Structure 1
């Protein structure tokens, strides 16, 4: 969760296998750049092209986040800058929360769409969605009996205080 220009961004990643493939391909030009730089003492234009490709791929890979708009819409930003998805929060039927991801079921995604998130951005995102006045769906914790769930420890601390 990062605040940029007054808006909170909740970062997510695609499925683990896609993340590994993407980040491997994104960092390959950088390692090629280092290998070629080590082999030759002078720096040519192809070195800068490889380094530029790596920087662009890393920048695009970090551009995956949610923004909750004030007008009651959830904006889903992905690595493709031309494919921004906007879902009305009132159309979200259910959010399934697992240990490593959330799945959003809505009119646009009736089968659900998975978003892998780290622990704290996921907790703050689910809390922000649940507190949104237009949210009419349900939040379901699906694997809270398998592992120690951080929601249980979070709310147990709130009850004790």
Structure 2
């Protein structure tokens, strides 16, 4: 059986920086294309780099296993495998979720998710037997972190 993945994006400031740089590569490719009237190798290579970064940006996801929550991020250093019993609180906002667990750098991490992904992820994690954390519906939770 194939594992279900739940896609996410990082907090708002990181997402804006990443996607701005990615679309900057697209605009550079388009500018290089406008310089010539026929297909141009360098602009096609830069366009290929743009598509690579788009695929890389969509390569962030959760996998819920029997004992673990696997958080797959772009950088291998940031990938985490957290036991479900270690999760303390999950706060659910309108556009994001915040997970509090000791495995994170600041004990908590924010994830932006679509409404469909968020609801299916919450239902999947509730159905795990080792998951004992409290799930809090918080309409005041915004997509930017407050320190």
What TM-score do the two structures reach when normalised by structure 1? 0.78
How far the C-alpha of 1:43 sits from its partner, in A, is 4.1
Alignment gaps of 5+ in structure 2: 142-147
Match of residue 56 from structure 2? 60
RMSD: 2.0
Match of residue 144 from structure 2? none
User: Which secondary structure state, in structure 2, belongs to the residue aligned with residue 13 of structure 1?
Assistant: coil
Once residues 3 and 87 of structure 2 are traced to their aligned partners in structure 1, the CA distance between those partners, rounded to angstroms, is 21
User: Which secondary structure state, in structure 2, belongs to the residue aligned with residue 79 of structure 1?
Assistant: coil
Point out the structure with max Rg over C-alpha: 1
Match of residue 125 from structure 2? 129
Native 8 Å contact 1:60 1:80 kept in 2: no
* Greater relative CO (CA pairs within 8 A, separation 6+): 2
What TM-score do the two structures reach when normalised by structure 2? 0.85
**Any idea what the Cα deviations from partners look like across 1:67-96, whole Å, max 9, x if unmatched?**
0123x1000011224532100111111111
Q: How many residues align?
A: 140
User: Which secondary structure state, in structure 2, belongs to the residue aligned with residue 102 of structure 1?
Assistant: strand
Q: Is 1:88 equivalent to 2:83 in the alignment?
A: yes
**Any idea what the Cα deviations from partners look like across 1:123-146, whole Å, max 9, x if unmatched?**
1111111111000111111228x9
Once residues 50 and 109 of structure 2 are traced to their aligned partners in structure 1, the CA distance between those partners, rounded to angstroms, is 28
**Any idea what the Cα deviations from partners look like across 1:97-136, whole Å, max 9, x if unmatched?**
1111111111213631111111111011111111110001
How far the C-alpha of 1:31 sits from its partner, in A, is 1.7
Alignment gaps of 5+ in structure 1: 147-161
Once residues 45 and 128 of structure 1 are traced to their aligned partners in structure 2, the CA distance between those partners, rounded to angstroms, is 46
